[in-house]
Amino acid sequence: MLVLLQPPPDAIRLETPMEETAGGAPVDLTVIAFVILVAVLAGLGLMRLKQPPLVGFILAGVLLGPSGLGFVSTADENVTLLAEMGVLMLLFFIGMELSLKAFVATLKPALLIAGGQLAAAMAITFGLKLISDATYAEAIILGFIIALSSTVVAMKMLEDIGELRSEPGRIAVGVLIAQDLAVVPMLLVATSLGGSGEVAWFSLCLKIMVAVAVLAGLLWYLGRRPKLKPSFAAAVEDKVEILALGSLAFCFAAASVSGWIGLSPAYGAFIAGLVVGASTLRSPVIHVVEPIQSILLVVFFLSIGLLIDLDYIVENVELVAVAAVFVVLVKTIFNVLFIRLAGLPHKTAVEAGLSMAQIGEFSFVLAAAAYASRAIGGDVYRLALAVTAITLLVSPAWMALTRHIEGEARFGYRQFREALAEIYEDRVEDVEDLGFWLRVRGRALRRTYRRRRAARQRAAEERTAAGAGAAGEGEQPGE
Protein backbone atom coordinates (compact mmCIF):
# COMPACT_ATOMS: atom_id res chain seq x y z
CA MET A 1 0.00 0.00 0.00
CA LEU A 2 1.15 3.48 -0.84
CA VAL A 3 2.41 5.36 2.22
CA LEU A 4 0.41 8.59 2.10
CA LEU A 5 1.89 10.37 5.09
CA GLN A 6 5.50 10.05 6.10
CA PRO A 7 7.48 11.99 8.71
CA PRO A 8 10.85 13.37 7.63
CA PRO A 9 13.63 10.74 7.56
CA ASP A 10 15.54 12.43 10.36
CA ALA A 11 12.50 12.56 12.66
CA ILE A 12 12.91 11.45 16.27
CA ARG A 13 10.63 8.90 17.86
CA LEU A 14 8.39 9.60 20.82
CA GLU A 15 10.49 10.39 23.85
CA THR A 16 7.82 9.80 26.49
CA PRO A 17 7.62 6.69 28.64
CA MET A 18 6.31 3.75 26.66
CA GLU A 19 3.96 0.96 27.52
CA GLU A 20 4.55 -2.42 25.94
CA THR A 21 1.80 -4.21 24.12
CA ALA A 22 1.44 -7.97 24.21
CA GLY A 23 3.46 -8.23 21.01
CA GLY A 24 6.25 -6.05 22.35
CA ALA A 25 5.45 -3.00 20.14
CA PRO A 26 5.88 0.30 21.98
CA VAL A 27 2.66 2.29 22.26
CA ASP A 28 2.12 5.27 24.53
CA LEU A 29 -1.62 5.31 25.11
CA THR A 30 -1.37 8.32 27.43
CA VAL A 31 0.20 10.45 24.72
CA ILE A 32 -2.28 9.35 22.07
CA ALA A 33 -5.25 9.97 24.39
CA PHE A 34 -3.99 13.41 25.44
CA VAL A 35 -3.22 14.50 21.87
CA ILE A 36 -6.66 13.46 20.61
CA LEU A 37 -8.28 15.20 23.59
CA VAL A 38 -6.50 18.47 22.77
CA ALA A 39 -7.43 18.10 19.10
CA VAL A 40 -11.11 17.61 19.91
CA LEU A 41 -11.15 20.59 22.29
CA ALA A 42 -9.45 22.77 19.68
CA GLY A 43 -11.96 21.65 17.07
CA LEU A 44 -14.89 22.47 19.37
CA GLY A 45 -13.36 25.86 20.08
CA LEU A 46 -13.09 26.66 16.39
CA MET A 47 -16.67 25.52 15.87
CA ARG A 48 -17.79 28.04 18.51
CA LEU A 49 -15.98 30.69 16.47
CA LYS A 50 -17.87 29.48 13.36
CA GLN A 51 -14.68 28.13 11.78
CA PRO A 52 -14.14 24.64 10.33
CA PRO A 53 -13.11 22.25 13.14
CA LEU A 54 -10.31 20.76 11.03
CA VAL A 55 -8.44 24.04 11.55
CA GLY A 56 -8.46 23.27 15.27
CA PHE A 57 -7.18 19.76 14.65
CA ILE A 58 -4.24 21.11 12.63
CA LEU A 59 -3.47 23.76 15.25
CA ALA A 60 -3.49 21.11 17.97
CA GLY A 61 -0.94 19.09 16.03
CA VAL A 62 1.25 22.15 15.53
CA LEU A 63 0.99 23.07 19.23
CA LEU A 64 1.88 19.60 20.48
CA GLY A 65 4.35 18.75 17.72
CA PRO A 66 8.14 18.77 17.73
CA SER A 67 8.35 22.43 16.73
CA GLY A 68 5.68 23.49 19.25
CA LEU A 69 5.61 22.41 22.88
CA GLY A 70 7.47 19.25 21.95
CA PHE A 71 5.03 16.98 23.76
CA VAL A 72 5.14 14.70 20.72
CA SER A 73 8.41 14.55 18.84
CA THR A 74 6.94 13.40 15.54
CA ALA A 75 3.98 11.59 14.04
CA ASP A 76 4.03 8.11 15.53
CA GLU A 77 3.65 5.14 13.19
CA ASN A 78 0.33 4.30 14.82
CA VAL A 79 -0.94 7.85 14.23
CA THR A 80 0.35 7.73 10.64
CA LEU A 81 -1.45 4.45 9.98
CA LEU A 82 -4.72 5.86 11.33
CA ALA A 83 -4.22 9.00 9.24
CA GLU A 84 -3.83 6.89 6.07
CA MET A 85 -7.02 5.05 6.96
CA GLY A 86 -8.69 8.45 7.39
CA VAL A 87 -7.72 9.41 3.83
CA LEU A 88 -9.21 6.17 2.50
CA MET A 89 -12.38 6.72 4.52
CA LEU A 90 -12.65 10.30 3.27
CA LEU A 91 -12.60 9.16 -0.36
CA PHE A 92 -14.97 6.29 0.44
CA PHE A 93 -17.39 8.75 2.03
CA ILE A 94 -17.12 11.23 -0.85
CA GLY A 95 -17.92 8.43 -3.28
CA MET A 96 -21.00 7.43 -1.26
CA GLU A 97 -22.29 11.00 -0.98
CA LEU A 98 -21.74 11.77 -4.66
CA SER A 99 -25.07 12.46 -6.37
CA LEU A 100 -24.58 11.18 -9.91
CA LYS A 101 -27.48 13.21 -11.32
CA ALA A 102 -26.29 16.45 -9.71
CA PHE A 103 -22.72 15.80 -10.80
CA VAL A 104 -23.74 15.04 -14.39
CA ALA A 105 -25.84 18.23 -14.43
CA THR A 106 -22.77 20.31 -13.56
CA LEU A 107 -20.25 18.09 -15.35
CA LYS A 108 -19.42 20.40 -18.26
CA PRO A 109 -18.80 23.64 -16.29
CA ALA A 110 -17.12 21.67 -13.47
CA LEU A 111 -14.61 20.05 -15.83
CA LEU A 112 -13.95 23.36 -17.60
CA ILE A 113 -13.36 25.19 -14.34
CA ALA A 114 -11.23 22.41 -12.79
CA GLY A 115 -9.19 22.12 -15.98
CA GLY A 116 -8.65 25.87 -16.04
CA GLN A 117 -7.54 25.83 -12.40
CA LEU A 118 -5.00 23.09 -13.12
CA ALA A 119 -3.69 24.86 -16.24
CA ALA A 120 -3.32 28.16 -14.36
CA ALA A 121 -1.52 26.44 -11.46
CA MET A 122 0.86 24.70 -13.85
CA ALA A 123 1.58 27.98 -15.66
CA ILE A 124 2.43 29.63 -12.33
CA THR A 125 4.71 26.85 -11.08
CA PHE A 126 6.56 26.49 -14.38
CA GLY A 127 6.95 30.26 -14.46
CA LEU A 128 8.48 30.10 -10.98
CA LYS A 129 10.78 27.30 -12.17
CA LEU A 130 12.28 29.65 -14.75
CA ILE A 131 13.46 32.02 -11.99
CA SER A 132 14.53 29.34 -9.50
CA ASP A 133 16.45 26.09 -9.38
CA ALA A 134 13.36 23.90 -8.99
CA THR A 135 13.15 20.66 -10.97
CA TYR A 136 10.45 19.70 -13.45
CA ALA A 137 9.10 17.16 -10.96
CA GLU A 138 8.80 19.83 -8.27
CA ALA A 139 7.06 22.22 -10.68
CA ILE A 140 4.54 19.55 -11.68
CA ILE A 141 3.79 18.45 -8.13
CA LEU A 142 3.52 22.02 -6.83
CA GLY A 143 1.07 22.71 -9.66
CA PHE A 144 -1.01 19.74 -8.52
CA ILE A 145 -0.88 20.93 -4.92
CA ILE A 146 -1.96 24.51 -5.72
CA ALA A 147 -4.77 23.41 -8.07
CA LEU A 148 -6.61 21.41 -5.40
CA SER A 149 -9.06 22.97 -2.95
CA SER A 150 -10.46 21.67 0.31
CA THR A 151 -13.79 19.87 -0.06
CA VAL A 152 -14.40 19.93 3.70
CA VAL A 153 -13.62 23.64 4.21
CA ALA A 154 -15.41 24.84 1.05
CA MET A 155 -18.62 22.94 1.84
CA LYS A 156 -18.56 24.18 5.44
CA MET A 157 -18.15 27.82 4.36
CA LEU A 158 -20.92 27.55 1.75
CA GLU A 159 -23.19 25.95 4.33
CA ASP A 160 -22.49 28.77 6.80
CA ILE A 161 -23.58 31.45 4.30
CA GLY A 162 -26.61 29.41 3.18
CA GLU A 163 -25.39 28.77 -0.38
CA LEU A 164 -24.56 25.06 -0.26
CA ARG A 165 -27.87 23.98 -1.84
CA SER A 166 -28.08 26.92 -4.26
CA GLU A 167 -26.26 27.50 -7.55
CA PRO A 168 -22.89 28.57 -6.02
CA GLY A 169 -22.92 25.43 -3.88
CA ARG A 170 -23.78 23.13 -6.77
CA ILE A 171 -21.04 24.56 -8.96
CA ALA A 172 -18.44 24.48 -6.19
CA VAL A 173 -19.31 20.90 -5.23
CA GLY A 174 -19.11 19.84 -8.89
CA VAL A 175 -15.66 21.41 -9.24
CA LEU A 176 -14.47 19.91 -5.94
CA ILE A 177 -15.63 16.45 -6.99
CA ALA A 178 -13.79 16.85 -10.30
CA GLN A 179 -10.67 17.78 -8.32
CA ASP A 180 -11.12 14.76 -6.03
CA LEU A 181 -11.35 12.53 -9.09
CA ALA A 182 -8.13 14.05 -10.40
CA VAL A 183 -6.30 13.17 -7.16
CA VAL A 184 -5.91 9.54 -8.30
CA PRO A 185 -3.89 10.26 -11.47
CA MET A 186 -2.05 13.01 -9.59
CA LEU A 187 -0.95 10.48 -6.96
CA LEU A 188 0.23 8.12 -9.69
CA VAL A 189 2.28 10.90 -11.27
CA ALA A 190 3.66 12.11 -7.92
CA THR A 191 4.91 8.67 -6.91
CA SER A 192 6.27 7.89 -10.39
CA LEU A 193 8.38 11.06 -10.62
CA GLY A 194 10.52 10.05 -7.64
CA GLY A 195 13.82 8.19 -7.69
CA SER A 196 16.95 8.62 -9.72
CA GLY A 197 15.83 6.37 -12.57
CA GLU A 198 14.04 7.44 -15.71
CA VAL A 199 10.27 7.85 -15.46
CA ALA A 200 8.30 5.09 -17.20
CA TRP A 201 5.93 7.46 -18.95
CA PHE A 202 4.25 4.73 -21.03
CA SER A 203 3.38 2.67 -17.96
CA LEU A 204 2.26 5.80 -16.09
CA CYS A 205 -0.01 6.98 -18.92
CA LEU A 206 -1.43 3.47 -19.26
CA LYS A 207 -2.32 3.38 -15.56
CA ILE A 208 -3.96 6.79 -15.76
CA MET A 209 -5.98 5.83 -18.85
CA VAL A 210 -7.12 2.59 -17.20
CA ALA A 211 -8.14 4.45 -14.03
CA VAL A 212 -10.05 7.13 -15.96
CA ALA A 213 -11.71 4.57 -18.25
CA VAL A 214 -12.87 2.40 -15.34
CA LEU A 215 -14.20 5.43 -13.48
CA ALA A 216 -15.98 6.85 -16.53
CA GLY A 217 -17.51 3.47 -17.36
CA LEU A 218 -18.70 3.00 -13.79
CA LEU A 219 -20.25 6.47 -13.66
CA TRP A 220 -22.01 5.85 -16.99
CA TYR A 221 -23.29 2.43 -15.86
CA LEU A 222 -24.51 3.55 -12.45
CA GLY A 223 -26.13 6.68 -13.85
CA ARG A 224 -28.27 4.75 -16.36
CA ARG A 225 -29.86 2.20 -14.05
CA PRO A 226 -31.92 2.20 -10.84
CA LYS A 227 -30.42 1.65 -7.41
CA LEU A 228 -28.46 -1.56 -6.92
CA LYS A 229 -30.22 -3.91 -4.51
CA PRO A 230 -27.94 -6.59 -3.04
CA SER A 231 -29.63 -9.86 -2.17
CA PHE A 232 -28.56 -9.50 1.47
CA ALA A 233 -29.77 -5.90 1.83
CA ALA A 234 -32.95 -6.73 3.76
CA ALA A 235 -31.04 -8.94 6.21
CA VAL A 236 -28.34 -6.40 7.17
CA GLU A 237 -29.86 -2.93 6.78
CA ASP A 238 -31.00 -2.84 10.42
CA LYS A 239 -27.83 -4.36 11.89
CA VAL A 240 -25.44 -1.54 12.76
CA GLU A 241 -22.43 -3.75 13.55
CA ILE A 242 -22.68 -5.74 10.32
CA LEU A 243 -23.13 -2.58 8.22
CA ALA A 244 -20.13 -0.85 9.83
CA LEU A 245 -17.79 -3.85 9.58
CA GLY A 246 -19.01 -4.84 6.14
CA SER A 247 -18.63 -1.34 4.64
CA LEU A 248 -15.15 -0.94 6.14
CA ALA A 249 -14.14 -4.36 4.83
CA PHE A 250 -15.46 -3.48 1.36
CA CYS A 251 -13.62 -0.13 1.39
CA PHE A 252 -10.28 -1.59 2.47
CA ALA A 253 -10.64 -4.63 0.17
CA ALA A 254 -11.15 -2.36 -2.84
CA ALA A 255 -8.22 -0.19 -1.72
CA SER A 256 -6.00 -3.27 -1.38
CA VAL A 257 -6.91 -4.57 -4.85
CA SER A 258 -6.35 -1.14 -6.35
CA GLY A 259 -2.91 -0.89 -4.72
CA TRP A 260 -2.01 -4.46 -5.73
CA ILE A 261 -2.63 -3.81 -9.44
CA GLY A 262 -0.48 -0.67 -9.36
CA LEU A 263 -3.12 2.01 -8.84
CA SER A 264 -3.58 4.14 -5.74
CA PRO A 265 -5.43 2.61 -2.75
CA ALA A 266 -7.36 5.87 -2.57
CA TYR A 267 -8.74 5.11 -6.04
CA GLY A 268 -10.11 1.78 -4.89
CA ALA A 269 -11.70 3.37 -1.82
CA PHE A 270 -13.44 5.95 -4.01
CA ILE A 271 -14.73 3.27 -6.41
CA ALA A 272 -16.07 1.30 -3.45
CA GLY A 273 -17.86 4.43 -2.23
CA LEU A 274 -19.46 4.96 -5.65
CA VAL A 275 -20.80 1.39 -5.68
CA VAL A 276 -22.23 1.63 -2.16
CA GLY A 277 -23.68 5.07 -2.91
CA ALA A 278 -25.54 3.67 -5.93
CA SER A 279 -27.15 0.90 -3.85
CA THR A 280 -30.18 0.77 -1.58
CA LEU A 281 -27.83 0.51 1.41
CA ARG A 282 -26.46 4.02 0.90
CA SER A 283 -28.40 5.78 3.68
CA PRO A 284 -27.85 3.21 6.45
CA VAL A 285 -24.16 2.81 5.56
CA ILE A 286 -23.58 6.58 5.64
CA HIS A 287 -25.31 6.71 9.02
CA VAL A 288 -22.99 4.10 10.60
CA VAL A 289 -19.76 5.03 8.78
CA GLU A 290 -19.84 8.81 9.34
CA PRO A 291 -18.75 8.65 13.03
CA ILE A 292 -15.86 6.33 12.16
CA GLN A 293 -14.78 8.61 9.33
CA SER A 294 -14.97 11.65 11.61
CA ILE A 295 -12.64 10.03 14.16
CA LEU A 296 -10.12 9.02 11.51
CA LEU A 297 -10.23 12.50 9.96
CA VAL A 298 -9.41 14.03 13.36
CA VAL A 299 -6.31 11.84 13.42
CA PHE A 300 -5.48 12.72 9.80
CA PHE A 301 -5.52 16.49 10.33
CA LEU A 302 -3.81 16.09 13.67
CA SER A 303 -0.95 14.20 12.00
CA ILE A 304 -0.71 17.01 9.44
CA GLY A 305 -0.21 19.48 12.27
CA LEU A 306 2.51 17.27 13.78
CA LEU A 307 4.40 17.36 10.48
CA ILE A 308 4.36 21.17 10.13
CA ASP A 309 7.75 22.63 10.98
CA LEU A 310 7.34 25.89 12.91
CA ASP A 311 11.10 26.44 12.94
CA TYR A 312 11.10 26.42 9.14
CA ILE A 313 8.19 28.89 9.07
CA VAL A 314 9.94 31.24 11.50
CA GLU A 315 13.20 31.10 9.55
CA ASN A 316 11.41 31.67 6.22
CA VAL A 317 8.49 33.75 7.42
CA GLU A 318 8.61 36.20 4.51
CA LEU A 319 8.70 33.43 1.89
CA VAL A 320 5.88 31.49 3.54
CA ALA A 321 3.72 34.60 4.05
CA VAL A 322 4.20 35.86 0.49
CA ALA A 323 3.54 32.39 -0.94
CA ALA A 324 0.35 31.96 1.12
CA VAL A 325 -1.03 35.41 0.23
CA PHE A 326 -0.09 34.92 -3.41
CA VAL A 327 -1.84 31.54 -3.57
CA VAL A 328 -5.05 32.80 -1.95
CA LEU A 329 -5.26 35.91 -4.15
CA VAL A 330 -4.39 34.12 -7.38
CA LYS A 331 -6.76 31.23 -6.71
CA THR A 332 -9.58 33.65 -5.93
CA ILE A 333 -9.03 35.64 -9.12
CA PHE A 334 -8.72 32.61 -11.38
CA ASN A 335 -11.66 30.83 -9.73
CA VAL A 336 -13.95 33.80 -10.32
CA LEU A 337 -12.60 34.26 -13.85
CA PHE A 338 -13.10 30.64 -14.91
CA ILE A 339 -16.57 30.45 -13.38
CA ARG A 340 -17.56 33.60 -15.25
CA LEU A 341 -16.09 32.20 -18.47
CA ALA A 342 -18.26 29.12 -17.96
CA GLY A 343 -21.27 31.41 -18.40
CA LEU A 344 -22.35 31.69 -14.76
CA PRO A 345 -23.51 34.95 -13.08
CA HIS A 346 -21.29 37.22 -11.01
CA LYS A 347 -22.77 36.30 -7.62
CA THR A 348 -22.26 32.58 -8.29
CA ALA A 349 -18.69 33.20 -9.42
CA VAL A 350 -17.82 35.23 -6.31
CA GLU A 351 -19.40 32.87 -3.77
CA ALA A 352 -18.07 29.67 -5.33
CA GLY A 353 -14.67 31.18 -6.18
CA LEU A 354 -14.06 32.41 -2.63
CA SER A 355 -15.02 29.03 -1.16
CA MET A 356 -12.25 27.35 -3.19
CA ALA A 357 -9.48 29.89 -2.51
CA GLN A 358 -7.52 27.60 -0.17
CA ILE A 359 -5.29 24.59 -0.85
CA GLY A 360 -7.00 21.30 -0.03
CA GLU A 361 -6.41 18.41 2.35
CA PHE A 362 -5.41 16.12 -0.51
CA SER A 363 -2.52 18.47 -1.20
CA PHE A 364 -1.05 17.20 2.07
CA VAL A 365 -1.38 13.67 0.74
CA LEU A 366 0.23 14.61 -2.58
CA ALA A 367 3.11 16.41 -0.87
CA ALA A 368 3.73 13.50 1.51
CA ALA A 369 3.57 10.92 -1.28
CA ALA A 370 5.94 12.94 -3.47
CA TYR A 371 8.32 13.46 -0.56
CA ALA A 372 8.27 9.77 0.35
CA SER A 373 9.17 8.89 -3.26
CA ARG A 374 11.84 11.67 -3.28
CA ALA A 375 10.16 13.52 -6.13
CA ILE A 376 10.46 16.75 -4.11
CA GLY A 377 13.08 17.90 -1.63
CA GLY A 378 12.73 18.59 2.06
CA ASP A 379 12.49 22.38 1.73
CA VAL A 380 9.79 22.18 -0.95
CA TYR A 381 7.92 19.66 1.19
CA ARG A 382 8.02 21.88 4.28
CA LEU A 383 7.02 24.94 2.26
CA ALA A 384 4.08 23.07 0.71
CA LEU A 385 2.86 21.90 4.12
CA ALA A 386 3.21 25.37 5.65
CA VAL A 387 1.44 27.21 2.82
CA THR A 388 -1.35 24.63 2.66
CA ALA A 389 -1.95 24.86 6.40
CA ILE A 390 -1.95 28.68 6.38
CA THR A 391 -4.42 28.89 3.48
CA LEU A 392 -6.73 26.48 5.30
CA LEU A 393 -6.49 28.61 8.45
CA VAL A 394 -7.15 31.97 6.77
CA SER A 395 -9.66 30.85 4.13
CA PRO A 396 -12.84 31.37 6.22
CA ALA A 397 -11.71 34.83 7.35
CA TRP A 398 -10.70 35.72 3.78
CA MET A 399 -14.12 34.74 2.46
CA ALA A 400 -15.95 36.73 5.15
CA LEU A 401 -13.78 39.83 4.57
CA THR A 402 -14.04 39.73 0.78
CA ARG A 403 -17.80 39.20 0.81
CA HIS A 404 -18.16 42.13 3.23
CA ILE A 405 -16.02 44.42 1.06
CA GLU A 406 -17.81 43.42 -2.11
CA GLY A 407 -21.18 43.80 -0.42
CA GLU A 408 -20.25 47.29 0.76
CA ALA A 409 -19.06 48.18 -2.73
CA ARG A 410 -22.29 46.96 -4.32
CA PHE A 411 -24.36 48.75 -1.65
CA GLY A 412 -22.37 51.94 -2.21
CA TYR A 413 -22.92 51.76 -5.96
CA ARG A 414 -26.63 51.27 -5.45
CA GLN A 415 -26.75 54.21 -3.04
CA PHE A 416 -24.86 56.34 -5.58
CA ARG A 417 -27.43 55.57 -8.26
CA GLU A 418 -30.28 56.32 -5.90
CA ALA A 419 -28.64 59.63 -4.91
CA LEU A 420 -28.25 60.66 -8.55
CA ALA A 421 -31.86 59.81 -9.21
CA GLU A 422 -32.95 61.88 -6.22
CA ILE A 423 -30.76 64.88 -7.14
CA TYR A 424 -31.92 65.01 -10.75
CA GLU A 425 -35.46 63.93 -10.04
CA ASP A 426 -36.98 67.39 -10.75
CA ARG A 427 -34.96 67.87 -13.91
CA VAL A 428 -35.90 64.45 -15.13
CA GLU A 429 -39.54 65.33 -14.55
CA ASP A 430 -39.01 68.59 -16.48
CA VAL A 431 -37.48 66.70 -19.34
CA GLU A 432 -40.35 64.24 -19.26
CA ASP A 433 -42.86 67.18 -19.24
CA LEU A 434 -40.98 68.81 -22.09
CA GLY A 435 -41.10 65.60 -24.05
CA PHE A 436 -44.82 65.26 -23.42
CA TRP A 437 -45.39 68.89 -24.49
CA LEU A 438 -43.35 68.39 -27.65
CA ARG A 439 -45.30 65.27 -28.52
CA VAL A 440 -48.60 67.13 -28.03
CA ARG A 441 -47.41 70.14 -30.04
CA GLY A 442 -46.13 67.88 -32.76
CA ARG A 443 -49.47 66.19 -33.13
CA ALA A 444 -51.19 69.62 -33.22
CA LEU A 445 -48.79 70.91 -35.87
CA ARG A 446 -49.33 67.81 -37.98
CA ARG A 447 -53.09 68.29 -37.76
CA THR A 448 -52.72 72.00 -38.72
CA TYR A 449 -50.43 71.11 -41.61
CA ARG A 450 -52.89 68.50 -42.89
CA ARG A 451 -55.80 71.00 -42.67
CA ARG A 452 -53.87 73.70 -44.52
CA ARG A 453 -52.73 71.25 -47.16
CA ALA A 454 -56.29 70.09 -47.64
CA ALA A 455 -57.47 73.74 -47.88
CA ARG A 456 -54.81 74.50 -50.50
CA GLN A 457 -55.80 71.45 -52.48
CA ARG A 458 -59.46 72.51 -52.39
CA ALA A 459 -58.54 76.08 -53.42
CA ALA A 460 -56.47 74.76 -56.29
CA GLU A 461 -59.31 72.51 -57.42
CA GLU A 462 -61.74 75.42 -57.24
CA ARG A 463 -59.41 77.61 -59.31
CA THR A 464 -59.03 74.89 -61.86
CA ALA A 465 -62.76 74.44 -62.04
CA ALA A 466 -63.30 78.20 -62.31
CA GLY A 467 -60.74 78.49 -65.10
CA ALA A 468 -62.38 75.72 -67.03
CA GLY A 469 -65.77 77.44 -66.68
CA ALA A 470 -64.42 80.81 -67.90
CA ALA A 471 -62.88 79.20 -70.98
CA GLY A 472 -66.22 77.63 -71.87
CA GLU A 473 -68.04 80.89 -71.66
CA GLY A 474 -65.45 82.60 -73.91
CA GLU A 475 -66.02 80.15 -76.76
CA GLN A 476 -69.79 80.62 -76.97
CA PRO A 477 -69.88 83.94 -79.07
CA GLY A 478 -67.87 82.45 -81.91
CA GLU A 479 -70.27 79.64 -82.59
The pLDDT assigned to 111 comes to 87
| Helical ranges in 98-150 per DSSP H | 100-105, 107-130, 136-147
**pLDDT, position 18:** 38
For residues 371 and 134, what is the distance between their CA atoms, to the nearest angstrom?
14
Q: What is the pLDDT of residue 441?
A: 59
- Looking at residue 302, its pLDDT comes to 81
pLDDT at 444: 65
**Spatial CA neighbour of 2 closest among 231, 285, 265, 212:** 265
pLDDT at 119: 93
Residue 264 and residue 88 in contact, taking contact as beta carbons nearer than 8 Å: no
**Residue 327 confidence (pLDDT):** 92
Three-class SS state of 298: helix
Give burial (CB, 10 Å; 0-12/13-18/19+) of 422.
exposed
The whole-model pTM stands at 0.70
- Distance in angstroms (rounded) separating the CA atoms of residues 320 and 153: 21
Q: What is the pLDDT along the chain (479 residues), one digit of tens a residue?
A: 334 444 444 433 333 333 444 444 455 677 777 878 888 888 888 888 777 787 788 888 888 877 777 777 655 565 666 667 777 877 788 788 777 777 777 778 888 999 999 999 999 999 888 888 888 888 999 999 999 998 878 877 887 788 777 888 888 888 888 887 788 788 878 877 876 556 667 777 787 788 788 887 887 888 777 888 887 877 777 788 888 888 889 988 988 888 888 777 878 888 888 888 888 888 888 888 888 877 877 877 887 787 788 888 888 889 899 999 999 999 999 999 999 998 888 888 888 898 899 898 788 888 888 888 888 888 888 888 889 888 888 888 888 888 777 765 555 555 555 555 555 455 444 544 545 555 655 666 667 767 777 777 777 777 766 665 555 545 444 44
The reported pLDDT for the residue numbered 468 is: 56
Give the per-residue pLDDT at 325: 92
Euclidean distance between CA atoms 262 and 282, whole angstroms: 28
Under a CB-based contact definition with an 8 Å cutoff, are residues 46 and 29 in contact? no
- pLDDT on residue 368: 83
Angle between helices 346-355 and 167-192 (to 10 degrees): 40
